[in-house]
Structure 1
Amino acid sequence: MSSPVLQIIAASTRDGRKGFAVAQWVQRVAEAHGGFDVELVDLAEVGLPLFDEPNHPRLGQYKHQHTKDWSAIARRADAYVFVTPEYNHSFPASLKNALDHLYVEWNDKPAGLVSYGGVSAGLRAATAIKPVLASLKIVPVTEAVSVPMFTQFIGDDGRFAPSAQVEASGKAMLDELVRLTGALRPLRG
């Protein structure tokens, strides 16, 4: 049996963003962990317009090719890690929009949260996204990664290299994602 697929979804789409380095770090940690086949999904590359489907996503009757393509990407995953900055005490509109485009594709899959920011470490973004995930039947794991003052961990080469505590929280999150992925798989048929 093949390994489950973990998608790491990078939420920031801004020009000049620094947080993509955090998503690349999550990818490296997940690949080293070995519990998943890992895909990095960059919402800047996905390029979804504001939600524009005429039908509710739960019906899966997508009219637009961009939604059909996004559906195919999200459907491949057995679990997710959402890597999100904090904007104005919440998560970015790009991530909300990406979540809103789909429904069934998200159901009964676990998700880890990696938040980053200044002093708050993106914790308000992580708190704000949880009710949205619950409404999509995504199960967030308790173990999470919160990175305060994240730019201090980005070297001159642009690579994110966090503290040992952040590294340990990433491993704990992945361990729990593996456990829940197996437990939730039978619910998806």
Structure 2
Amino acid sequence: MSKLEIIVASTRPGRVGLPAAKWLEGEAKAQGGFDEVEIVDLAEVNLPFFNEPKHPRLGDYQHQHTKDWSAKVAEADAFILVMPEYNHGFNAVLKNALDYLSREWKYKAVGLASYGGVAAGTRAAQMIKPVLGALRMTTVTDAVSIPMVQQFLKDGEIVPNDVLSASAKAMLDELAQVAAALKPLRKEY
């Protein structure tokens, strides 16, 4: 069994992240590389600013919200981060969610689906790669970058063009392969 979690990073009202995640969920289910696909919305997770007294590498969590977040992340084999670009970087809510944990992220594959204006969120995607590497995650090369994202939003849904559909397929194919290859490294967890 393999599980993909699609994490919606934006928590702003009127955000595009949720429609983008729903589109990617449909693409992932059609692709068939994962037995289970789930959207995880950071607006619903609602983590406070990092407030654990001990370092995450110890796994000695004091707060129920951290224990719940740990369990959710631990059950996944791979992730897609659906992320906006704010001021040429990734958003604070996503960084906070990543920083809460340590071993739960280790040796897991991650795909990046960024969106924004003309740069399509690519600056945020490049900026987050060292953070993911520090968590021992493997970022796949293929990615989804949605430029001028509003042009793809119709009645609250993302309506992709051929380029977006092809990029989603390539990312999902690579993500499934890398997730399977990393699985033996996680046996100790």
Fold equivalence (TM over 0.5): yes
Alignment correspondent of 1:23: 21
Task: Structure 2 unaligned segments of length 5 or more: list them.
Answer: none
CA deviation vs aligned residue, 1:107-138 (integer Å, no higher than 9, x gap): 00010000000001000000010000000001
Q: Aligned pair 1:116/2:115, yes or no? A: yes
Other-structure match for 1:7: 5
Q: Distance in 1 between matches of 2:28 and 2:16?
A: 20
Alpha-carbon shift at residue 16 of structure 1 (Å) = 1.8
Match of 1:44 in 2: 43
1:18, CA displacement in angstroms? Answer: 2.2
Offset from partner CA, 1:43-68 (integer Å, 9 cap, x none) = 00000000000000010000000000
Runs ≥4 residues deviating over 6 A: none
Q: Which residue of structure 1 aligns with residue 128 of structure 2?
A: 129
CA distance in 2, matches of 1:178, 1:21: 22
Aligned to 1:81: 80
What is the aligned residue count? 186
RMSD: 0.6
**Structure 1 gap segments, 5+ residues each:** none
Answering whether residue 76 of structure 2 is matched by residue 68 of structure 1, we say no
Alignment deviations for residues 1-47 of structure 1 (CA, whole Å, 9 cap, x no partner)? x3x10000000001121221111111111111111110100000000
Paired residue type of 2:92: A
For 2:4, the aligned partner's letter is: L
Letter of the structure 1 residue corresponding to residue 160 of structure 2: P
* 2: CA distance, partners of 1:162 / 1:150: 10
Q: Look up the match of 1:143.
A: 142
The code of the aligned residue for 1:176 comes to E
Distance 1:19 1:175 in 2: 21
Identity %: 59
Secondary structure at the residue paired with 1:91? coil
Moved more, 11-20 or 65-74: 11-20
- When normalised by structure 2's length, the TM-score is 0.97
- 2:30 corresponds to: 32
Query: Alignment partner for residue 177 of structure 1, among 164, 175, 178?
Result: 175
- Structure 2 SS opposite 1:83: strand
Q: TM-score, normalised by structure 1?
A: 0.97
* Counterpart among 158, 163, 166 of residue 164 in structure 2: 166
Residue identity matched to 1:31 = K
Give the superposition deviation at 1:162. 1.2
SS in 2 for 1:104: coil
